Amino acid sequence: MFSGIVAAVGHLTDIVARNDGAATVRLRIDAGQLDLGDVALGDSIACGGVCLTVVDKDDACFFVDVSPESLSCTVGLAAPGPLNLEKALRLADRLGGHLVSGHVDGVGEVLRFDAIGDNRLLTVRAPESLARYIARKGSITVDGVSLTTNTVDGADFSINLIPHTLGATTLGGLCPGRRVNLEVDLIARYVERILAVSNDA
């Protein structure tokens, strides 16, 4: 589990196809300011909102294997570029954002990225299948960043991004037409499931 509070911006530097019969690729990710001192092989790190398992590392970078399925339903892992990084939560950690699984629910498209003083108003169109999980003043994860929606109109939602978020994550580089990884609030998913079971009973 994660909180959606980005610890560092890393950089995907190398993508190497593996000859394992499953078309898996191995990614080399420069960890940037992320401390890898307490990271062990097998630990999870959210990379651009995608939970990935560390299979190798050194002092400055770590390596993860990504399946064709993960590549097909996410963005940001198929070409070199910056990635928001967060290590998995420990029980003693503060939950500054919201509970995030690192399992991307869908890919959205940036519609607007408007300057409002030092802030930016981000408008994203989510896949129609996710619209029912997005609520005004609710939580959503965009490229691994825990955010609160301002407005919701069908599958479109807007978020106000403050200067700290713009500077400490990759979101400052967004522009209309960019695609982003989305994860809806876990609570919304569980509420839907509970209601569905209750109605079937």
pLDDT in tens, 161-188: 999 999 999 999 999 999 999 999 988 8
- Does 201 reside within a domain? no
Shared-domain flag, residues 119 and 181: yes
Looking at 58, 87, 116, the residue that finishes a domain is: 87
pLDDT in tens, 189-198: 778 778 777 6
Mean pLDDT of 42-60: 97
pTM of the model: 0.93
Q: Which two tokens stand for residue 113?
A: 């990225």
- Does 172 reside within a domain? yes
Shared-domain flag, residues 182 and 110: yes
The amino acid present at 123, given as its one-letter code, is T
Q: Which residues of 128-157 are buried (b: 16+ CB within 10 A; e: fewer)?
A: eebbebbeeebbbbbbbbbbebeebeebbb
CATH number reported for the structural domain that contains residue 163 in this entry: 2.40.30.20
